Amino acid sequence: MPGIRVRHNMFHGGTFVVEAGPEYATPIVCPRCNPTKDGSIRIHYYKAHHITLDENGNGIISEGVYNAILEADPHGLAGLEVVNEVKDPPPLTIGMGALGQPEVISGEFIGRNGHG
């Protein structure tokens, strides 16, 4: 399955952060989440997945990310629901190209190995 389209019914138009997985050996001062609107420093202590949601709350994740979130929250999937398969997901870029910095949504799900 190339990509999995998911939807969040409450959040849209930004980055939805799901902390679902093992604790980082070294906490991450996340460049995608900082600077925050209120000036505070946002740090991830647990494995974090940044899901870009469009204006309708839709995002696309890989099967590996889906499985990681599902493992942490088998019944709730962090509030996401599966919409459909995406055969040709858009490319992503790591690098110095100036990507947009979508607003990080303040509300988030935090689940750690299924124990919420």
Which residues here bind other proteins, judged by CB under 8 A? 1-4, 21-22, 24-26, 28, 30-32, 46-52, 59-65, 68, 86, 88-99
Q: Closest CB to other proteins among 86 and 105?
A: 86
Question: 56: which 2 tokens?
Answer: 């309708």
In Å, how far are 50, 75, 77, 89, 107 from 30, measured between CA atoms? 10, 28, 22, 24, 16
Q: Closest CB to other proteins among 39 and 95?
A: 95
Least CB distance from residue 9 to other proteins, whole Å? 20
Residues forming beta bridges with residue 109, ordered by sequence position? 18
Least CB distance from residue 12 to other proteins, whole Å? 17
Cβ neighbours around 6 below 10 Å, total: 24
